[in-house]
Structure 1
């Protein structure tokens, strides 16, 4: 079963995206960063290369002959060229139900102050919870991140 994590940010999500990319790469997972359109792909490609403290995550934009070698592949299409274990979807992107099971984890990152992203993320929640996946919603507040909602909890076996 795919584990799905929603991250509701109280502002722009670029810094959060970078942190999630770093954490996923520390597990040696390949990632598909699913964007809403080509403009978002280009924006994030530029922004994710510019990080403080010399932090670095290798990323590439889908569409080259080297896609399969990219640890992080940015795309506005559902490509599995880099054999990703993780999909990180931005707020306005879409998720195709027939590819969900190809991933170990799915993360949806959205800005709660952007009504369009908020509505699109609610639709993703309905879709993925309806498919029976274990879901968690984390919200950002003054103290950091807190679990605010959960659906389809994993059943623990009692011995």
Structure 2
């Protein structure tokens, strides 16, 4: 059964929180897919993953690049899983994929300061529960650490 984690961003922007979560996934030996809503966002995250920290980068590629399937982290705007990822990150309103049951974990991240994003996350919570997935809700404390709330 797939675990679906809902991460409610409050004290950090996505650009600060996402790379750390992706790093932790790689440390577990998982390949990852990050799905977003637009090619512009994909381009921005592609650049950010190279430079988000002075002493590190995330090995990744956009799905459209040659050899992308060989990368541990794939960036995409659709439901592709070319690299055989165990975890899928959904950002910018990306919806649960039709093949949700094929992942060990799905992480849906949403901006808690955006009422529309919060409403969309609530809708996806219902979809995930109805599909029989194990769902949990995580919220950031003021220091940016994640705490399970539900």
Same fold (TM over 0.5): yes
C-alpha displacement at 1:120, in angstroms?
A: 2.0
Structure number with bigger Rg: 1
Q: Take 1:117 and 1:46, find their aligned partners in 2: how far apart are those partners?
A: 24
Which consecutive unaligned segments of at least 5 residues does structure 2 have?
Answer: none
1:135 alignment partner in structure 2: 135
1:110 alignment partner in structure 2: 110
- Deviating above 2 A after TM superposition, structure 1's stretches of 4 or more consecutive aligned residues are none
1:41 alignment partner in structure 2: 42
Task: Point out the more displaced range, 17-26 or 134-143.
Answer: 134-143
Q: Take 1:59 and 1:116, find their aligned partners in 2: how far apart are those partners?
A: 30
Task: Point out the more displaced range, 113-122 or 28-37.
Answer: 113-122
C-alpha displacement at 1:91, in angstroms?
A: 3.7
* 1:1-159 matched pairs, under 5 angstroms: 1-10=1-10, 11-96=12-97, 98-143=98-143, 144-149=145-150
Quick one: higher RCO (CA 8 Å, sep 6+), 1 or 2?
2
Give secondary structure in 2 for the equivalent of 1:56.
coil
Q: Is the 8 A contact 1:86 1:103 kept in 2?
A: yes
C-alpha displacement at 1:38, in angstroms?
A: 1.2
Q: Is the 8 A contact 2:63 2:69 kept in 1?
A: no
Q: Take 1:124 and 1:31, find their aligned partners in 2: how far apart are those partners?
A: 20
Q: Take 2:66 and 2:51, find their aligned partners in 1: how far apart are those partners?
A: 24
